[in-house]
Structure 1
Amino acid sequence: MDKRTELTARNFPTAQEESEVVVPATRYEGPESSYRLAFTDKDFLLREELRPVRMQLELLKPELVQKAQGIESTIVIFGSARIVSPAEAAVELEQAHAAADPAAIKRAQMRVQMSRYYDEARRFAALVTTETGRRAAPVHVVTGGGPGIMEAGNRGAYEVGGRSLGLNIVLPHEQVPNPYITPELCFQFHYFALRKMHFLMRSVALVCFPGGYGTLDELFEVMTLIQTGKCRHRPILLFGRDFWTRLINFDVLIETGMIAPADVNLFRFVETAEEAWTALETAYSLNPPDTETGEFAADI
């Protein structure tokens, strides 16, 4: 070893090195033994009492990986996992007609109608990735990592050669990440709360497409945080005025005093990828200053 290197050499082996030490077979190698290193002992880490440690790990892993990958700012795309691409919707409609099933035809027709949002999410993600990719600090698309609108967002970024994130979560269904996420930026979560926190930590905008309970949960949590001043204001764009105004009667909330009239200014409706991009360009340059964790990270 070079004498100058000796000045900065580690005094102790790393945890990785220790974990790779080959231990000869002994009576303490069995599954009932407590001889394993604590940080390599899966049974120990999964104990109920270790929940705070697991939550901390779930907070730290995506944070450290994103920092290492240079992810500073993101645009979050929320929306239903059940909205399919126009091509897939067309096939479903054709099959429904072939089966001569009126109920199936009606469902398939609605699927075709809603599939336009898949295309808009795909085009919007491509637009964001292309436009901000030419800037000093690119903005990356982040989705929930699943199918439907989430797939469309990751796919749009992928098809123009960009990187995108997926924050997947373990569920009884819909838990396999879509194939368009950048592998080193594809994360899996156990805790919904920490997943939602990571959605916002680097976000400069939230773009919300039609969706169900999960989408509404994510949307209203963000609006609540902004309304109550718990996080900095950021643009919230709702794709599809007709869908959202039929789903939520914002006028009733104002008339009954449940929200202030100004609270409807927390969001705006858009219909196309281009309109959404123009709204974001109007809001700010989408070229945030270089910071360790993104312009808005300190809000959370």
Structure 2
Amino acid sequence: MAKEKNNGPAQRGELTARNFPTAQQDATIQAPPSRYDGPESAYRLAFTDTEFLLREELRPVRMQLELLKPELVQSEQNIESTIVIFGSARIVPSDVAQRLLDDAQAAQNATALRIAEAHMGMARYYDEARRFAAIVTEKSRGLATPIYVVTGGGPGIMEAGNRGAHEAGGKSIGLNIVLPHEQAPNPYITPELCFQFHYFGLRKMHFLMRSIGLVCFPGGFGTLDEMFEALTLIQTGKCRRRPVLLFGRDFWTRLVNFELLVDTGMISAMDLELFRFVETAEQAWEILEAHYGFELRDTSTKGDLASNV
């Protein structure tokens, strides 16, 4: 009986024990050197074989991974609602613009002076994006569903958004894209929420999947692409309607002749109600607050994953 009593617990199995080793366990097994360890060998596990995963035929798998990784990480971080900030990578903060202007004036360089003056004229948007992100982070901190700022993760307006959230003591998300001449992620993104994308389409999907609002600052082709894709999805009913705020009426109305689109029948007059112009961070927040009111506490946009796939 004593022998049975001592051996019983050691022989008793756990109901929830794994039946098979994990992929991670198999991936970390150190195999002894052999003729199958060379680069030409096909012996490596498929999911640890980078060369295999990068084959042309594996594109669908890579696209699925790029969809799943940010989705799973954000779910684990309990991120349900976001505010997306779009805008140019080339807009600098006011202090940097002033320094560029001072240097150009001291050098008496006409070309540098023209560029510096343009930077000075646009710098206020960096400052507004930074303040807006701080307001979103501070105001939503006490909500049942906090709102997190998400940007493209680069410099300029994107940096301003992540910076404002960081300075307010909150987390923020950066969705970087691999480009030939850009870009390291800005230093203000929460590290565990800094993602890198190969596919523009999947990156843009992640911008929208959790967003309760889109805020568009002045920008170039990339900003226009992101803004008009979002407006198209809302216009066509492919995703739910949400506030789209365009910072700087003068910039946007000079860039896009919205009235011409209506007058020529390219869009309906009602389509102009899909977005609103704003000038300050406070005005943008007031519109969002008025749109959602106390219901903002219960906002959940997880369902957009299924509806946007």
- What code does the residue aligned with 2:79 have? I
Residue 156 and residue 26 in structure 1: after superposition, are their counterparts in 2 closer, same or farther (change >3 A)?
Answer: same
SS at match of 1:89: helix
TM normalised by structure 2 equals 0.94
2:67 matched to 1:59?
A: yes
Q: How far apart, in 1, do the equivalents of 2:31 and 2:132 lie?
A: 54
Written as runs of structure 1 = structure 2, the 5 A alignment for 1:55-134 is 55-134=63-142
Kindly provide the CA deviation profile for residues 149-206 of structure 1, in whole angstroms up to 9, marking residues without a partner as x.
0000000000010000000010112220000000000000000000000000000000
TM normalised by structure 1 equals 0.97
Contact in 1 for aligned 2:81/2:299 (Cα 8 Å): no
- Number of the residue aligned with 2:154: 146
Q: CA deviation at 1:44?
A: 0.3
Contact in 2 for aligned 1:129/1:157 (Cα 8 Å): yes
2:208 matched to 1:210?
A: no
User: Quick one: which of 267, 281, 289 aligns to 1:259?
Assistant: 267
Kindly provide the CA deviation profile for residues 119-167 of structure 1, in whole angstroms up to 9, marking residues without a partner as x.
0000000000000001111000000000000000000000010000000
User: Quick one: which of 251, 272, 296 aligns to 1:287?
Assistant: 296
Tell me the number of residue pairs that the alignment of Structure 1 and Structure 2 aligns.
299
Which sections of structure 2, spanning at least 5 residues, go unmatched?
A: 1-8
2:50 matched to 1:31?
A: no
Task: Give 1 or 2 for the bigger CA radius of gyration.
Answer: 2
Residue 20 and residue 259 in structure 1: after superposition, are their counterparts in 2 closer, same or farther (change >3 A)?
Answer: same
Q: CA deviation at 1:220?
A: 0.2
Residue 98 and residue 5 in structure 1: after superposition, are their counterparts in 2 closer, same or farther (change >3 A)?
Answer: farther
List structure 1 segments (4+ residues) > 2 angstroms apart after TM superposition. Answer: 1-5, 285-291, 293-299
Written as runs of structure 1 = structure 2, the 5 A alignment for 1:138-287 is 138-285=146-293, 287=296
Larger deviation: 152-161 or 282-291?
282-291
Contact in 1 for aligned 2:143/2:297 (Cα 8 Å): no
Q: How far apart, in 2, do the equivalents of 1:5 and 1:76 lie?
A: 50
- Give the superposed CA RMSD: 1.4
Q: How far apart, in 2, do the equivalents of 1:86 and 1:35 lie?
A: 57
SS at match of 2:296: coil
Residue 250 and residue 233 in structure 1: after superposition, are their counterparts in 2 closer, same or farther (change >3 A)?
Answer: same
